[in-house]
Structure 1
Amino acid sequence: MTSLVDLLHHPLRWRITQLLIGRSLTTRELAELLPDVATTTLYRQVGVLVKAGVLMVSDEHQVRGAVERTYTLNAQAGDADNAEVDHDKLRTMFTVFVAGIGGHLDQYLTRATIDPLADGISFRQTALNLSDEEFTEFITAYGELLARYADKPDTADRTRRMLSTLIVPD
């Protein structure tokens, strides 16, 4: 069986999962967001992700005689892989993570005009000197803060922003 790390190391499968963070999309909607990808390739890679349990079908409805499926990320997809992470897999996961962030920046840079300050572009590093207890408290509070904002619906007056975090002991 292919590991989650190996599955997501594929650039298109990574892009698909990134597009589905916090929302559900049909393959047609994914195709609109990935105009550089051939439809057959997109369907094939979505199928691979469904078969592997990374994506789930959250809705189905008939469209002109065909079944259109809506996909969401399976929140439990990576649980079994956590025990199998070694040095090389962690390095690969990190590389895929950084490449995904770079992809989001590349997408932003396709705009005709950019204004990083007005658009809220931000990247920074902060050192936190915390005991294990303080770190647990921080992670809990951070998770609660994110939860207050992560479930807001996608509406015309909202801009989708990707927040990426990385925590590494120094």
Structure 2
Amino acid sequence: MSEQKADLILHPVRMRIIQCLIGGAPKTAQQLQELLPDVPQATLYRHLKKLSDANMLAIAEERPNRGTVERWYTLPERAAELTADDLRAASPEDHLAFFMKFASHLIGQYGRYVRKPGLDLLADGVSYRQIALQLSDEEHLRLLASIRELFAEAARNEPSPERRNRLYSVIAFPE
């Protein structure tokens, strides 16, 4: 498996850049900077270059802007996903490392959220829970497909004054 691909996707800053581009319109580095104000500008540009060089981001458009070229970044379909072959080729140790990076990223995001002034978990609809379900393989795949369909529909929502960015993380595995 291409550990490089997993490392590219699962890096905390690159994962946040990818999330900003999922299902949305192309964005400039400046727009991404506004969405990720805690990421230094030089760091953002370095990670945009790394993702672009790896073909995980595409340049949708380039526009001249005050003596420089403004790039509009987009996420090619499935570019930021590990393939079935990638997953099959990974060792158990690789999978644990991938999961730890994912969990670490999730903890970092939650940490940023709970440190915000005026924290109100109930009003914000914060939830974390685990549920054990008795499902056949077929039922499990149908459930995952339904969840993905709902997420894909919601990912097409454009930002608006009444909307805010909400993070959902799904982890599913048999016991």
Is 1:155 the counterpart of 2:157? The answer is no
Q: Which residue of 1 aligns with 2:23?
A: 22
Note the aligned Cα RMSD (angstroms).
Answer: 2.2
SS at match of 1:114: coil
Q: Which residue of 2 aligns with 1:12?
A: 13
Q: Which residue of 2 aligns with 1:52?
A: 54
Q: How does 1:55-134 map to 2 (within 5 A)?
A: 55-77=57-79, 78-79=82-83, 81-134=86-139
Report the Cα offset of residue 155 of structure 1.
Answer: 1.4
Map Cα deviations across residues 64-93 of structure 1 (whole Å, 9 max, x no partner): 121111222233323363343221221122
Report the Cα offset of residue 131 of structure 1.
Answer: 0.9
Equivalent pairs: percent with the same residue? 38
Give distance in 2, aligned partners of 1:61 and 1:32.
19
Give distance in 1, aligned partners of 2:162 and 2:49.
33
Aligned length: 170
Give distance in 1, aligned partners of 2:152 and 2:41.
34
SS at match of 2:169: coil
Q: Which residue of 1 aligns with 2:42?
A: 40
SS at match of 2:122: helix
Q: Is the 8 A contact 1:25 1:70 kept in 2?
A: yes
Which runs of structure 1 show a deviation greater than 4 angstroms over 4 or more consecutive aligned residues?
A: none
Higher relative contact order (CA 8 A, sep 6+): 2
Distance 1:125 1:145, change over 3 A: same
SS at match of 1:3: helix
Letter in 2 for 1:69: R
TM-score (norm 1): 0.85
TM-score (norm 2): 0.83
Letter in 1 for 2:77: A
The unaligned stretches of length 5 or more in structure 2 are none
Report the Cα offset of residue 20 of structure 1.
Answer: 2.9
Distance 1:41 1:144, change over 3 A: closer
Give distance in 2, aligned partners of 1:73 and 1:4.
15
Letter in 2 for 1:3: Q
Report the Cα offset of residue 157 of structure 1.
Answer: 1.5
